Amino acid sequence: MIQAFGLTSNPRKDLPPAVDDVSFEACAGHVTALLGTPGSGRTTVLRLMLELQPGRGFTYFRGRPLHRIAHPSREVGVLLGDVPGHPARSVRGHLRMLCAAAGVPVRRADEVLETVGLVSLRDERLGTLSRGMDRRLGLACALLADPHTLVLDDPADDLSAREARWLHGTLRAHAAQGGTVLLTMSDPKDAARNADRVVTLARGRIVADQDVTEFARTRLRPRVAVRSPYAPRLAALLAKEARTARRSVEIVREGGNRLCVYGSTCADVGETAFRHGILVHQLADETGDMGPGAGAYPAAEPDDADASGRPLPYSADDATGKPGTAPRDITGQPVTPSHHTAAGDGSRETAAQDLSGRAGSASGADPAPRPRAADTRGLALTPLPPPISVRSAPSPLRPLRYEIRRATGIGTGFLTAAAVLVVSAVTAVLLARIGHTPQARLLAAWPRELPLPPAALGAGLLGALAFGDEFRHPALAADRGTVPRRLGLLTAKLVVAAATALMLAFLTVGCDAEVLYLVYGRELAQVPADWPSLSASWLGLLVGCAWAGVLAAGIFRSTTAGLAAVLAVPVVVVPLVQKALAGSSVRTAAGFPMRLRETLWLQWPFGGERYLTVVARVLVQPVGGALTLSLAALLCAYVLTTLRSRVR
């Protein structure tokens, strides 16, 4: 159950707030529609409910606000706009990554793929999906963690009639199992067909909160749709006859040769046209909206439009989707002559009330009569994935599994590593040919003219992508609106970035040594005598660059900022550190190993003091000290921004 109280957005300058004091309830087992025209504040209401936008008011999801729920994705499934995710990631890989983030078994991805009918497209990339398939994937993401509540922003927008029927049938099945469904709509007729309760918004305020039966009776009224090449003449004749007979008839010309006649019947309009010899191309009963936004005829799908782009009164006659010959009413049922007569004899209210008894069905099926939510026996609904019976306990490995799937789900990391190895090998060969390069710099492919070697730049770029891709393609933004600034997620990214940097360090040195051996022989591929300290410095440099990229990208929300922070260490921070160390008041680190041995009372096992000495030597170097200083500053900034976001 959803309870919203006093939702009000913050006003901008002298403009009134987009949403002002909106309060309503969405009950479990029902489909609730937020109806309104574009600009009425529907999306703003959802964003206020999900705490994605600052404002006043509060919302309870089964008695708890969203920020009090430990795992929001398990309580609320959200679909706002297109599916957020990297366009190069596969459909199945995207869902498996979200499974790791939500802490649900990976088999859940295959279950929801089968439910939404995307099994055949599981290896397709997100960037290649059509609008209908994107909607199906978005619903799969919302159902992934088996939430009780679904919140969707105009999910049937730009969908074909068949896709829209399937979507509403799936939402109806979720509500029939006791879940809560809240979605926004712009078409009153769709709301009357597919919702149990309709909350109407206009200019940011609620103008009506009605059961669908009452909504259909008060907001919708029947009309006669007429299409004729002599529409102006027919409109004048109908108005003249209505004045003569003293009947209240409203005639609205909706563009081109289409008329909408309120207060008359198909029989009366047809007889008038026949008596005056007026050719009629269309004559059918419809239902129009009489509330806010009335008069805007909704756009039809290409299958339901004529050559000029105007909607036809005919719906699909069979499963092929070809136009049929029999007109249908707005519920999809064939309109017979007796139905015309009944509508013309005053049973309009019965027909309007019948709108609330229609339900979306499974994919490809015609709409069938839908009983009320309390009686769902005999109702053919779209099968949903089985519930998750065993909830996995909170584990520190959950963000680590998510980060591993995120990093390995696309080819960016592998391509970057391959490019680093190629550039490093070519640079090492060129440096060996030029000569006068120390052996350590030769194996690292680090010219003196460059601030960092290619491997360090590659490690920094991979670290920056860890957070940069999250903000550019926010896969975790479905429930909170932005990438969660949790320390557990940061720790997982630092661990994966460090492991990637270590592998890149070993591969780079190995490839450079192998290439030098093949080109110049064994002399240039020899290992330096002081390889332990050089290896520690090399590994520390790459891991530090990777961590600097991760932290900077997490703070500034940009891959470019993360890479810039990596380059700033040798270009800006190192000169500052060297200048500070050159001062007379700064003591040097000479004799540090001896003082360390004298200070420590206990003897380190397995000669551990040697490794500690190597680490100390790395830190007292200008690059090592500058990198350590930068990492400390970035980590403090990240923690402060995290605490600030939590306070807000």
DSSP string, 38-98: TTSSHHHHHHHHTT-S-EEEEEEETTB-GGG-S-HHHHEEEE-SSPPS-TTSBHHHHHHHH
Average pLDDT over residues 187-215: 92
Residue-level pLDDT at 303: 37
The answer to whether the beta carbons of residues 415 and 508 sit under 8 Å apart is no
Element (H, E) at 198: strand 197-202
For the record, the structure tokens of 36 come out as 């309104």
CA-closest candidate to residue 625, choices 540, 506, 550: 540
Sign of CA dihedral 530, 531, 532, 536: positive
Mean pLDDT of the chain: 78
Residue 605 pLDDT grade (very low, low, confident, very high; cuts 50, 70, 90): low
pLDDT in tens, 517-567: 999 888 887 878 778 778 888 998 899 999 999 999 988 888 999 999 999
The pLDDT of residue 370 is above 60: no
Strand runs labelled E in 318-430: 358-359, 368-369
Residue-level pLDDT at 113: 94
DSSP annotation of 78: E
Average pLDDT over residues 620-634: 76
Strand runs labelled E in 532-648: none
296 or 250: which carries more pLDDT confidence? 250
The amino acid present at 208, given as its one-letter code, is: A
Residue 319 pLDDT grade (very low, low, confident, very high; cuts 50, 70, 90): very low
DSSP annotation of 187: -
pLDDT in tens, 489-527: 889 999 999 999 999 999 999 999 999 999 988 888 787
d(C-alpha 118, C-alpha 420), whole Å = 37
pLDDT in tens, 379-420: 345 577 777 644 444 566 788 999 999 999 999 999 999 999
Residue-level pLDDT at 595: 59
Residue-level pLDDT at 483: 63
d(C-alpha 46, C-alpha 142), whole Å = 15
Name the β-bridge partners of 253: 259
Q: pTM for the complete prediction?
A: 0.72
Average pLDDT over residues 291-309: 37
The pLDDT of residue 621 is above 70: no
- DSSP H helices in 68-143: 72-75, 91-102, 107-116, 131-143
Sign of CA dihedral 224, 230, 231, 235: negative
Average pLDDT over residues 193-198: 94
Considering 70-74, 407-411, 605-609, the range whose residues carry the highest mean pLDDT is 407-411
Residue-level pLDDT at 290: 63
Q: What is the Cα 166 distance to its own chain's centre? A: 21
For the record, the structure tokens of 256 come out as 């081109």
Residue-level pLDDT at 456: 93
Token look-up 């990637």 returns 500
Residue-level pLDDT at 593: 55
Residue 166 pLDDT grade (very low, low, confident, very high; cuts 50, 70, 90): very high
Residue-level pLDDT at 354: 37
Residue-level pLDDT at 143: 92
Task: Lay out the sheet containing 2-9: strands in order across.
Answer: 22-26, 2-9, 55-61
Task: Report residue 57: phi and psi, to 5°.
Answer: 100, 175
d(C-alpha 172, C-alpha 42), whole Å = 21
Strand runs labelled E in 248-348: 250-253, 258-262, 282-289
Token look-up 């839908």 returns 370
d(C-alpha 335, C-alpha 86), whole Å = 47
Element (H, E) at 6: strand 2-9
The pLDDT of residue 224 is above 60: yes
CA-closest candidate to residue 292, choices 355, 219, 392, 190: 219
The answer to whether the beta carbons of residues 234 and 228 sit under 8 Å apart is yes
Name the β-bridge partners of 149: 76, 180
CA max distance for the chain: 116
d(C-alpha 584, C-alpha 55), whole Å = 56
DSSP annotation of 644: H
pLDDT in tens, 22-31: 999 999 999 9
Please, what is the angle between helix 454-472 and helix 531-556, to 10°? 20
88 or 624: which carries more pLDDT confidence? 88
Token look-up 């040919």 returns 433
CA-closest candidate to residue 216, choices 195, 246, 231, 244: 195
Average pLDDT over residues 192-200: 93
Residue-level pLDDT at 436: 81
Residue-level pLDDT at 185: 93
Q: What is the Cα 632 distance to its own chain's centre? A: 33
Name the β-bridge partners of 225: 260, 284
Average pLDDT over residues 6-10: 93
d(C-alpha 348, C-alpha 222), whole Å = 6
DSSP annotation of 482: S
d(C-alpha 566, C-alpha 459), whole Å = 9
Residue-level pLDDT at 587: 52
Average pLDDT over residues 261-268: 89
Three-state secondary-structure class, residue 437 = coil
397 or 152: which carries more pLDDT confidence? 152
Residue-level pLDDT at 358: 34
d(C-alpha 503, C-alpha 165), whole Å = 51
Residue-level pLDDT at 500: 96
d(C-alpha 457, C-alpha 116), whole Å = 42
Sign of CA dihedral 70, 75, 81, 82: positive
Name the β-bridge partners of 9: 55
